[in-house]
Every structure is written in structure tokens, then in C-alpha cells.
Structure 1
Amino acid sequence: MELTTQQLQRVEHYLDKKNITYIDVRFEVLDHIVSDIETKMTKENLDFETVFYNVTEKWNPQLKETTSMFFGLGFSAPKLVIQKAKKVYWKQYVLLFTSYFLPFILLTHFNFKIQNPTEFNFFIILKGILIVSFVSFMFLLLTKNNKIKTTYGFILKSQGLGAVTGLIVLLMFFTRLKVLNGISVGMFCSFIFMTFSYFLFYKKHKEAIKKYKIS
């Protein structure tokens, strides 16, 4: 049994009230809820209103607005969105820490140190890479489509402010750098990876918008 246009609009309104406006999640949830309602109406021979309340009651816990320490308590989203965001982000999260601690541990172990690195030509290259990466990061941050929500957009939003603050501090740190060691190299590597990671989710955000043909 297929739902009528009016019944479909009822389901759409329910998703709006639950803030399921993240397009990559909304289409999946809409399809599941409609399928659940149609199946239950057919098998149990019940009216739409009865089935609608039964099905939505089952979905309510999954669509409840919540937060996560993983992204910061200041950023909330429906539980399903948070779960999907964790699933796609955790590998990048681990790699971000690895990009810092791996060079830090290795270079500290071998007692790597360069005094007054700003006097060497290679430092100009490192600083140039840092500045180019920072400009690229800011460009991605400012050109992201904030009007259309996706799970990847949520990740970008939750990471944006902290990343910008950290990058500004890092630039100031490198400008006054007296010793190039495991700590500073680790910070440099983590910054480069952070920019790459942000670009990756920016690209996925754009692809999700294109996939669902929303401009």
C-alpha cells in the first residue's frame, strides 16, 4: 500500500520537527519510515494515523537531539546524525593524533634539535607550506555552503572554530620559533593533516549536495 501525497507530507513535517534537515540522512530516514508505515498498514490492516504514531514512536529515540564529547557539547544534532558523523570521522581523528605523536616520539627519541631554525633556508619552505595551508583552510571554511546541511557539514562546523584558533596560535608559534624539535615538527605535521582532513570532508559535503541535486 503506497502512501498518499498528504500522508507523505505528514511524514516530511515530522522529520522537519525532528530537525532531520541533513540531506544525506533525511532521504534514508524518510525512505525507512515510509516503508515501515506501508508495510505495517498492509500486514496489520490498520489506518494511517494509528500506524504513523506507532512507527514514529519507535523512531523518536533515534531522532532525539543530542550532543557528543567527540565533537564538543556546544554542537548538537539528531542522534542518527551524531552516530553517522562518528562513524565517518573516527579514522581521521586517530590519524590526526598520529600525525602529531609519531614525529614527536621519533624525533624526541633521536634527540632531534635545530637551534634558531629561522636562519636556515629550509625553514622558509616550511613556513611557506604553513601559510599556503592556512590560506587554503580559510578559503574552504569561508566558501562552505552553510545553508544546506549534511553530516560532513556538521563535522566541518564542529571542527572549524577550534581549528582556526589552533592554527593562528601555531602560526604565531612558528614566527617566533627558537628551536625546531619533535614538538614543533609534530605540530607542523598535525596542522598539514588537519588541512587535508578538512578538505576531505569539504569535498564529501559538496558531493552529498550534488548527489541529492540540491544547489
Structure 2
Amino acid sequence: MKLTTEQIECINQTLVKKGVKFDDLKMEVLDHIASQIEYEMTATQKTFPEAYNQVFERWNAEFKPTRAFFSLNTYYPKLARSKFGNQIKLEIITAITIAAVLFFSFQLMSDSNAKLQFILWIKKLLLYTYIGTILSMLVFKFFNAKSKVSSTYKHSFDMRFSVIIIWLGFVFTDNIPHDTTNQNIFVPGMGCLFVYLLFNLYWGFKHYQFQKKISIQ
């Protein structure tokens, strides 16, 4: 049994009251809850209020306020924290993979001079990536600011926008380690920073895609 526009809006307003403020997450959850309510109404002949109460009762644990990552006073519904957690896991897995590839590639260098050139090459690549990331983030910031659409991607992007400046000194410094131990730490560390920069762009682009999708609908 298909829900009416009014019934869907009722679900939407309930999600807002329960703190689901990110539009991408709200759309996902609304779709799941609406489908479950439709199923209950069709399979058990329940009325909308009965099915609505039953389904939301099942979801109550997901709406429980949970402290946000890296914050002492910001709380999200549990399902929002779960989505941010999945985003962080994706980034960590990617960072570990890239760091491992660079580390083992570094170990294959035949002598200290080759290893030094390898580090200098990575530093140059990181410098161009950093400059490109800042310029691209400014572009995304400009386009995203025009939209009132909220998303978990925009939240992640905005959180990083002000933090990226702290890497300025590291990227532009000419200092590099010359001893083996510090070089073995430095190389995978630069790989992690490279992934961090790329994910800044990734979240900005994901939000741009999402708001385009919303505008088409």
C-alpha cells in the first residue's frame, strides 16, 4: 500500500524532530521507514498510525543521541554517527593501503641516494596536491555555499576546510629526514597526508553531486 504525500511528510517531520538533520541521511532513512510502514499496512492490514508507531518503535535505538567523533559537546542520532564512522573507516583503509604501497616501494630502492630522490619526488607530488586541494576546496566551498542542502558529506568537508591550513608548514618545508628510521616513518606518513588531502576533495564533490541530485528531483 503506497503512502500518501501527507503521510510521507509526517515521517519526514518526525525524523527532523528526532535530530536527523542531514538531508542525505534523512532521505535514506525515510525511504527505509516508509517501505517498512507500507509493508506493515499491506501484510497486516494495520492503519497508518498503527504501522507508523510500530516501525518507529523498532528504530528508536538508532535515534538515540550519541556523542559526535572528536567532539565533547556535539551529539547526533546514533545512525548519523554510524554513517560518519563508515566514512572514517573508508578513509583509514585507503590511507593504510597507500601508506603500505609507498613504504614497500621505498624499501625496494637500491641505495640511500635513490631513497632520497624517492622522498623528494613524493614531497613534490604532495606540494602540488596540497595547492590543488586548497584551490579546489575553495571552488567547492563557493558552489556549496549557494545551496541550503545539508549532508553528511558537507559536514565532513566543512570540518576539514579550516583544519587543512595546519599542514601548510609541513608541506612547504624543505626539511626531510636523512636517517633510515625517520625516513621509514616519513614516507608512509606522507602517504596518509596525501589520502587526507584527496578525501577533502572527495567529500566536497560528493556533496556537490548530492545537491545536484536534489535539484533535479
Please, what TM-score do these two structures have when normalized by structure 2? 0.70
| 1:80 aligned partner, one-letter code | L
What is residue 152 of structure 1 aligned with on the other side?
Answer: 153
Looking at structure 2, the residues matched to 201 and 45 of structure 1 have their Cα atoms a distance apart, in angstroms, of 43
Q: Is the 8 A contact 2:91 2:195 kept in 1?
A: no
Pairing 1:23–2:23 present: yes
State the partner residue of 1:179.
Answer: 178
Give the deviation of 1:208 after TM superposition: 2.2
Judging changes above 3 Å, is the alpha-carbon distance between structure 1 residues 79 and 154 closer, same or farther for their aligned structure 2 residues? farther
Give the aligned CA root-mean-square deviation in angstroms: 3.7
2:157 is paired with a residue of what secondary structure? helix
1:127 CA drift (Å)? 5.3
Shift of 1:13: 0.7
Give, in whole Å, the separation in 2 of the partners of 1:6 and 1:141: 39
1:137 aligns with 2:133: yes
Alignment match, 2:50:
50
Partner of 1:209: 211
3-state secondary structure, aligned to 1:66: strand
Q: Quote the offset at 1:187 in angstroms.
A: 3.2
| Cα distance in 2 between the residues matched to 1:141 and 1:188 | 20
Q: Distance in 2 between matches of 1:42 and 1:129?
A: 58
Aligned-residue identity in percent = 24
Offset at residue 130 of structure 1 (A): 3.5
Partners of 1:155 and 1:44 lie apart in 2 by 41
Read off the aligned partner of 2:186 and give its amino acid letter: S
Farther-moved stretch of structure 1 (201-210 vs 72-81): 72-81
Name the CA shift for 1:178/1:33 in 2 (closer, same or farther; >3 Å): closer
Aligned residue pairs: how many? Answer: 205
Unmatched segments (≥5 aa) in structure 1: none
Equivalent residue, structure 1, for 2:70: 72
Q: Which has the higher strand share?
A: 1
Between 184-193 and 103-112, the greater mean CA deviation after superposition: 103-112
Are the structure 2 counterparts of residues 11 and 177 from structure 1 closer, same or farther at C-alpha, using a change threshold of 3 Å? same
Q: Deviations over 1:34-64 (max 9, x none)?
A: 2222332344343333332222121121233
1:212 aligned partner, one-letter code: I
Tell me the SS of whatever aligns to 2:66: strand
Counterpart contact for 1:105–1:182, Cα < 8 Å: no
- The CA deviation string for residues 99-136 of structure 1, in whole angstroms up to 9 with x for no partner, is 3355446647979656xx7xx9x95x765543332222
Distance 1:48 1:171, change over 3 A: same
Letter of the 1:192 counterpart: F
Match of 1:35? 35
Gaps of 5+ in 2: none
8 Å Cα contact 2:23-2:150 kept in structure 1: yes
Matching residue of 1:198? 200
Residue type matched to 1:94 in 2?
I
Q: Which one-letter code corresponds to 1:72 in the other structure?
A: F
| Aligned residues of 1:156 and 1:201 also touching (Cα < 8 A) | yes
